[in-house]
Structure 1
Amino acid sequence: MGGLVIAFKDYNIFQGVWDSGWAGLDNFREMLSIPEFFRITRNTLMLNLLGLLVCFPAPIVLALMLNEVRARSLKRISQSLLYLPHFMSWIVLGGIVYAVLSPKYGVVNQLLRWAGVEEIYFMADQTWWVIVYTLSAVWQSAGWGTIIYLAAITAIDPALYEAASIDGAGRIRKIFSVTLPSIMPTIVILFILAVGQMVSIGIEQPLALANPVVGDVSEVISTYIYQVGIKQGEFGLTTAVGMVQSVINLCLVVTANHFARKAGGEGLW
């Protein structure tokens, strides 16, 4: 936290944090005057909102599906395959995505050509790039995210399912009447934490999937901080950007927690 003082200084790497001169709010004014600032903020919010709408429900649905698998061996094999992408670097996953979607050699475009459809330049089209970005995030994180929900499901009292069976409930009715209400506190807490990351985004996935053609939608706050802060040495400016980012995240967490408690659910505090 002490490093945040760089945001208020004209930081010089040779003078150090404390000996560098004070800049007041100049770094924050410069941040707002950056032509790309509102574009990268828009991209960050857009990709995170899509992640919240698509990536957040995916582990829940997957956990419910795995919970209904009765064959233990099939369930374990399925879980292992679903967990695997989480342990792979985004550089490797990005290479796989580019190889599969390649216009000339990619499997997807070969199938499209066999079906009489022209090839699609997925990674060179802004709309398709956003779709690929979102789906690849689901592929990488959904399996690992099921662990928490499966743990919550195993803690449900079996007597609830027995009572539902006596009342004539089938599998689908048990999911909506027993399983989902029982794991709702876990869902709410994870949702609050997800909302708290709305203006933050990891650098690995955008760097692995981005290219200059789709720069208008692929450049986000984290990549900007890397390009300007690390490569160009603008430490004070990028620290100010990161500080504003963290403050907004904090406000989002507090707001989401407030509304969760107002709605009668459980919050983080």
Structure 2
Amino acid sequence: MEECRKEGALASSLTSYAYSPWKAGRSKEEQREFTEIEEIEIPQGIEILGKYTFYGCRSLKTLKLFDDVKEIGGGSFTGCSSLRNLVMFLKEDGISCIKDVVSETFHEMYVSIVFLNTDERAELIFPEYYEEGVENTPARILETHFHGCGYKYRQCFTDKKVDYKRYDSLFSTALVYEKEEILIPMAVGRLLYPYQLAKEAEKSYEAYVRENLEKCARFYLEKSNWHEVYEYFGRKNFWSREALENIIEEASEKKAVDIAGYLMEEKRKKFAGKEKKFEL
């Protein structure tokens, strides 16, 4: 790993198989290291990744890139079955290789876009999909059918720039095809970091969260950013008394003391003096 970083720091490109455990000449120890590595950050200044750059990095979960990278060689993500997270550092909202990465993966990809010169960021999810070859016997041709809306999400680029309007317009389609584990962070992520989020799209995401508030709150019970999410729910007045009470109970059962305490205080602030009255 160290050797590749040193090589990368001296050149504007990485040679083929740069991070691959199967690069010719690797020792068994190096093969094991690259097979087990879970996170890789390509240094700034690298513009080209050679062919099969990460080939065989089966434990790689997170890839961090700068917008200096303009070209990624073919086969670079072959065998990267664990890759789910892409962190993209952009100096401005311009051309990047996000499309190149997500287009090479069929499973879901969580993309964090961090703008280096501002405090802005965006959180996007590109759902999984798969292709199926179906024979059209009368026409004697093989047709490609796409299952899942992940393929459509991967078309949300114009000249290698993210088309946020098109991305957000697909949420109604995602509601039909995707599971809650994708829909919840997709909606909440766009609301928390509303980069180029149009009002109509914001309303759609908010409507989903309001309608599924307890499910959304439960999803973040065991996430590291629970405080940020729950604070947003409070700021937008999403919480109901019932939802708070139910999540407090679950947090207590899970012995999540910090969360239970935070939500109890949230309940006190929002519903103090509004306790239920019972008629005798």
TM-score, normalisation: structure 2 = 0.21
Greater helix proportion:
1
Greater strand proportion:
2
TM-score, normalisation: structure 1 = 0.22
Larger RCO of the pair (alpha carbons < 8 Å, separation 6+):
1
